[in-house]
Amino acid sequence: MEEESWIKQYWRPAMAYQYLAVCLFDFIIAPLMTMAYFKWSGGVYVPWVPLTLRESGFYHMSMAAIIGVSAWTRGKEKITKVETSNTTTENK
């Protein structure tokens, strides 16, 4: 059986890590930095508005679809691989 290329093998975890990084920045890091900036500068506080929630959160909906469908297809691939290995073992 042919080995998968590294991009085909690791694109799913890379997408999940990228989504995690974006969410951490948009919902934790940027609001904390905004609060710290206005506290130290002495200006009037303007709350952080998450960038990914613009356009009705389309970014989160699309990432949920990408990660969800890829996890589902990866599960199907693993099930097929196990079933194939079981049938070849039974035939021997």
Length of the chain in terms of residues written: 92
Over the stretch 12-21, which tens digit does the pLDDT of each residue have? 888 889 999 9
CA 8 to chain centre: 16
pTM assigned to the model: 0.72
Q: Which residue segment(s) compose the domain that 10 sits in?
A: 6-91
Give whole-number Cα distances, 59 to 14, 54, 85, in Å.
Answer: 16, 8, 39
Gap between the Cα atoms of 5 and 47, Å rounded:
44
Gap between the Cα atoms of 88 and 73, Å rounded:
23
Q: Is residue 14 part of a domain?
A: yes
What's the domain count of the chain?
A: 1
Over the stretch 5-46, which tens digit does the pLDDT of each residue have? 888 778 888 888 999 999 999 999 999 999 999 999 998 999
Q: Is residue 1 part of a domain?
A: no
Q: Is residue 68 part of a domain?
A: yes
Look at residue 78 and tell me whether its pLDDT is greater than 90.
no
Q: Is residue 55 part of a domain?
A: yes
Q: What does the pLDDT read at residue 22?
A: 95
- Compute φ and ψ for 50, nearest 5 degrees: -55, 130
